[in-house]
Chains A and B, each alone.
Chain A
């Protein structure tokens, strides 16, 4: 640190150096962000005949409103549960409660998100905006899977690439290659891999199982679409984090490894007690970077699935763009942006707290 040069204040020079950069950021990053917060409390649309009005928290209530209702199954006069042809218990229609029912004003306009229970009674979790709820769940799932898996795989690759072998640079260069390719291009290419008829993945699995594997449409089914996008996203970005791990590995002094070798430490012990402690700072950085990137999941969805099938790949950022730009509902899109910011900020504060230096 250059603390010793700070003997004198130099306000004029200091501001002069910072101003071009900070000025640009103020106009093009901070102002839009403040704008987003302000717009989220209005009913602004891109083109609207009506003047913009302050609507308070309405946008947030529309997005985040949740309700719950428990219903008893319908019974005949003898008290037997009514069943449909398939044998499932009959319940009163949910919409009788959520559409203009004066006895249940708090769940008016909500739709079913999840339900659980038995034949006697079911509990319904209702949401004002089911698609957005799914977007939140999908995004969190994406982060929870991609952050640890990608960080772990990147570390494995870094350890693999950190060996002294002839030609290792070629392998390192290849592993990093997808990072250089646009995510839009990558997403288009992977559509061929995941294709339902004769996709490359189906062909490969079919060959490996000698024809036992029946092809499936990876992006076309709600169960596999999000995992497919997770795999592709990891494939694209893992090389970058490999390089960051590599830089961490190279800061560990070779004498530590020599000492471990002399002590007769096993490979695992060497990793556990020499390598891993030396990678602490790198680990923190990588986890934070991947988490941020994962929360911003957008281009893959836009190119590959558009949020489908059955909203199984909706994400928060995709929703923000879809509403604000696609549907021209600027205030709704802005509210989503603010919600995302609050989520990411909370998580980064939690991460910072958990990974703080305890020494």
Chain B
């Protein structure tokens, strides 16, 4: 590169940015379309898809679609439900999966290899294929609550949370990460008389920032975007999450402006959150991704 003249260098730079920008447009245009369309009346929205106007805030712009979306469905409730289910699942998942991974990596016990193999084998079972037997199980499970002992978990928060707390991928991520932690640290702590719980809380977890972030992000995306499972197990409006709430907008004649407003409402907050934290977001996934 040293031999390249200034002009040539500048030209190459322009070409590079042009390529990068073109690709960026490919990745971003459906999302721009979504937000712009949410501001337009139905008739204009559909007419605009025939031109570049689809991506521009032009014509009869307003927030009417949002007002109507809120009138049609309890949007706030759906977002709250999704956030609650997601937050509780993420926190419990991080705790329980990291404990399990800690045991797999640092402790020696009978059956360890077998159990770890079973857990890793579950990685190749897509959720959709066990959804129906899981539905049968969930409809019979006991629960002790305010009304005493009851059976059947359908129509609740717990049916959306508990089955997703422990999963093979999260445990796998923690196991991978823990294996690269310096074993001498843990050994030294043991010699000093620390309990396993102390080692977990004082040494291992404080060193695990990147993997905690990655596991949290991946779990968040899975949980916030849950679709098939809540469709099956939640018939009551009061427990519905955001993706199932979409059904309210696909009645006889679809008001696309309202659909776009709803999609924007449930997507933009996540996108904004992502964009604010994108550097840490991508860095943490990259750092726990693989060992080269």
Seen from chain A, the residues whose Cβ lies within 8 Å of a Cβ on chain B are 1-6, 8-11, 13-18, 20-25, 27-33, 35-36, 39, 157, 160, 163, 165, 168-169, 171-186, 188-190, 192-193, 195, 198-200, 203, 235, 239-240, 243-244, 246-248, 250-252, 278-279, 281-282, 285, 292, 295-296, 298-299, 302, 317, 320-321, 324-325, 330, 333-334, 336-337, 340-341, 344-345, 348
Contacts and interface: CB of A to CB of B under 8 A. Distances in A.
B266 interface: yes
Nearest to A156: B23
Looking at A21, A189, A285, A337, which has the most chain B CB atoms within 10 Å of its CB? A21
Looking at A3, A174, A299, which has the most chain B CB atoms within 10 Å of its CB? A174
B127 to A, nearest CB: 8
A2 B166 contact: no
A244 B289 contact: yes
A341 B228 contact: no
B130 A337 contact: yes
B99 A21 contact: yes
A200 B171 CA distance: 42
B100 A18 contact: yes
Contacts of A182: 224-225, 227, 243, 266-267
Interface stretch (B3-11, B60-68, B108-116): B108-116
Interface in B152-167: 162-167
Contact of A333 (B49, B132, B166, B281): B132
B196 A165 contact: no
Contacts of A29: 122, 125, 130, 163, 166-168
Given A10-B107, A177-B27, A4 B124 contact: no
Contacts of A317: 126, 128-129
Contacts of B34: 185, 189
Contacts of B131: 321, 324-325
17 contacts: A13-B109, A28-B134, A33-B133, A172-B282, A180-B270, A185-B266, A189-B34, A189-B263, A203-B50, A240-B285, A248-B290, A285-B290, A298-B126, A302-B228, A325-B135, A336-B129, A340-B126
A236 B112 CA distance: 37
Contacts of B187: 2, 4-5
Contacts of B129: 36, 317, 320, 336-337, 340-341
Contacts of B124: 292, 341, 344-345, 348
B205 interface: no
A13 B194 CA distance: 13
Nearest to A171: B20
B253 to A, nearest CB: 16
Nearest to B28: A174
Given A5-B187, A14-B107, A247-B289, A32 B133 contact: yes
B49 A334 contact: no
B279 A200 contact: no
B50 A296 contact: no
B137 A31 contact: yes
Contacts of A178: 27, 30-31
Contact of B105 (A2, A21, A28, A246): A2
